[in-house]
Chain A
């Protein structure tokens, strides 16, 4: 007998769609100055957030959004059955160290910049599977911690290519519940790792676009829906050129989503902000989803969206050894209720 809640090859559906009962976001000053600045709960002007290292600043942001999300749901940390969190740093130290402080049963996730949606998908499965009443999902990234880990020291004078993206400084958290008020998660499509041979770590949009298109097309096939069913397809951090590539790949798979396809990385900065292709990092899909998108859904301006967070699964070691960059994308359907 096939799994009762599975649709097609990679999609699951939820019998009692889990509810996103609360969200919280924090961003850095560059994100605060961007077009979505007003949609975030808090803008932190100090890159160190009062700490002595950037890593500690990132941790502090992650802890704060998690505490805020729990508080807004009128819960205590001991009410949360499971914490799903991740970030970009080696051995996901931001998530691990925050979990140490919160004392909630914890499963650490690494899906690079797709971690928020990996968490939403798994959290919804835990709840609809009957394993949890409340699940907390959180992610963070920090421009300076990511730059120093993946690229150059931050004060190093280098010219970034026009297709490079800018790691978002920020953190986002959401509480999922079996019941309550808020947008619901009805389906999730777990992505496959796709690698079409891109190897330039500055051009992550190109590395991830095939995975995004693969997951989106697979979702439509699995659910036998047409693109018009959704108000918006929104990827995590493909950026300007990655979005264009994903659009072309979708067209070649027979789906035209050009009138309803955006990207969190494109929305978060304006072109004058010198971010080049757009934002990236775990927090990119995280803060735009937990801020802007959830607000639009609650206000009724968006009814049903397919969020597709994308991740580039490379490490410094893998690309220095000449490996290409595998990409992944997980899709989650969020509907207004």
Chain B
């Protein structure tokens, strides 16, 4: 068992205390989290597929049907965020609701609502990308690196 004593050097106290925290801290419910992430994430994908089939059935070519599907999913996620429902879903779904495009929409709308009080320009305008910004930055950098590799090694 971890033992923290005032007589120990601070570094030892910190190490022992870290062990004690590990002993006490509850284990994350990985099994349940993975299950719900799979179910909810899967359902969002099923919805996407249904929408895609619908738009294709109405005569749109695949790429344009894809764009229309994304638009609808983004709209739905934004609406649910505005109604205060999306974060309740995410509490159970975790990555299942963060990874799909709906999570991206949520991460844009949430700060937009949050910073409305600080005005349209310095509030919403400046803070809109606080959560989504890093995703875009690293997404674009990765795409650029992959394109570079493709250019030299194809």
Contact of B4 among A152, A206, A249 (CB under 8 A): A249
Give the complex CA separation of A252 and B28 in angstroms: 27
Give the complex CA separation of A155 and B78 in angstroms: 11
Asked if A156 contacts B94 (CB within 8 A), the reply is no
Q: Which A residue sits closest to B113, measured CB to CB?
A: A155
Asked if A161 contacts B107 (CB within 8 A), the reply is no
Asked if B110 contacts A155 (CB within 8 A), the reply is yes
User: 17 pairs across A/B with beta carbons < 8 Å?
Assistant: A152-B110, A152-B131, A154-B87, A155-B82, A155-B86, A156-B107, A156-B110, A156-B111, A156-B131, A157-B90, A157-B91, A157-B93, A157-B107, A158-B98, A161-B28, A244-B24, A249-B4
Contact of A153 among B20, B33, B131 (CB under 8 A): B131
Stretch of A35-43, A85-93, A196-204 lying at the B interface: A196-204
Give the complex CA separation of A153 and B81 in angstroms: 11
Q: Which B residue sits closest to A249, measured CB to CB?
A: B4
In the complex, whether B69 has a CB less than 8 A from a CB of chain A is no
Which residues of chain A have C-beta atoms less than 8 A from B81's C-beta?
A: 155, 157
In the complex, whether A52 has a CB less than 8 A from a CB of chain B is yes
Contact of A162 among B3, B28, B103, B115 (CB under 8 A): B28
Asked if A245 contacts B24 (CB within 8 A), the reply is yes
In the complex, whether A241 has a CB less than 8 A from a CB of chain B is yes
Number of CB contacts from chain A to chain B under 8 A: 94
In the complex, whether A248 has a CB less than 8 A from a CB of chain B is yes
Which residues of chain A have C-beta atoms less than 8 A from B90's C-beta?
A: 157-159
Give the complex CA separation of A156 and B132 in angstroms: 11
Which residues of chain A have C-beta atoms less than 8 A from B130's C-beta?
A: 153
Closest CB pairs A-B (n = 7): A157-B90, A197-B14, A153-B114, A153-B110, A155-B110, A156-B110, A53-B117
A135-175 interface bits toward B, Cβ cutoff 8 Å, 1 = contact, 0 = none: 00000000000001000111111111111000000000000
In the complex, whether B29 has a CB less than 8 A from a CB of chain A is yes
Secondary structure of the A side of the interface? loop
Show the binding face of B for A, using Cβ within 8 Å: 3-6, 13-14, 17-18, 20-21, 24-26, 28-29, 33, 81-82, 84, 86-87, 89-91, 93-94, 97-98, 103, 106-107, 109-111, 113-115, 117, 130-131
Interface bracket on A: 20 to 34
Q: Which A residue sits closest to B114, measured CB to CB?
A: A153
Which residues of chain A have C-beta atoms less than 8 A from B28's C-beta?
A: 161-162
Contact (A252, B5) CB under 8 Å given A156-B131, A162-B28, A241-B24: yes
Give the complex CA separation of A59 and B84 in angstroms: 24
Asked if B24 contacts A154 (CB within 8 A), the reply is no
Which residues of chain A have C-beta atoms less than 8 A from B98's C-beta?
A: 157-158
Which residues of chain A have C-beta atoms less than 8 A from B89's C-beta?
A: 157
Asked if B21 contacts A198 (CB within 8 A), the reply is yes
Contact (A154, B110) CB under 8 Å given A163-B25, A206-B25, A249-B4: yes
Which residues of chain B have C-beta atoms less than 8 A from A18's C-beta?
A: none
Contact (A157, B14) CB under 8 Å given A152-B110, A245-B24: no
Which residues of chain B have C-beta atoms less than 8 A from A244's C-beta?
A: 24
Contact (A155, B109) CB under 8 Å given A161-B28, A162-B28, A163-B25: yes
Nearest CB in chain A: distance from B34 CB, A: 12
Q: Mark out the residues of chain A between 211 and 248 whose CB falls within 8 Å of any chain B CB in the assembled complex.
A: 241, 244-245, 248
Asked if B26 contacts A241 (CB within 8 A), the reply is yes
Nearest CB in chain B: distance from A220 CB, A: 14
Asked if B25 contacts A197 (CB within 8 A), the reply is no
In the complex, whether A253 has a CB less than 8 A from a CB of chain B is yes
Which residues of chain B have C-beta atoms less than 8 A from A55's C-beta?
A: 117
Give the complex CA separation of A158 and B33 in angstroms: 12
Q: Which A residue sits closest to B127, measured CB to CB?
A: A153
Give the complex CA separation of A245 and B18 in angstroms: 11
Which residues of chain B have C-beta atoms less than 8 A from A206's C-beta?
A: 21, 24-25
Contact of B84 among A155, A163, A248 (CB under 8 A): A155
Nearest CB in chain A: distance from B146 CB, A: 28
Nearest CB in chain B: distance from A318 CB, A: 17
Which residues of chain B have C-beta atoms less than 8 A from A159's C-beta?
A: 33, 90-91, 94
Contact of B26 among A152, A163, A253 (CB under 8 A): A163
Asked if A157 contacts B86 (CB within 8 A), the reply is yes
Q: Mark out the residues of chain A between 108 and 135 whose CB falls within 8 Å of any chain B CB in the assembled complex.
A: none
Contact of B13 among A152, A196, A245 (CB under 8 A): A196
Nearest CB in chain A: distance from B109 CB, A: 7
Instruction: Specify which of A203, A210, A274 lies most central, judged by the most chain B CB atoms within 10 Å of its CB.
Output: A210
Asked if B97 contacts A157 (CB within 8 A), the reply is yes
Given contacts A52-B117, A241-B25, A249-B4, 11 further A-B contacts (CB under 8 A): A53-B117, A148-B114, A153-B110, A153-B130, A155-B87, A155-B106, A156-B107, A159-B91, A197-B18, A210-B4, A245-B24
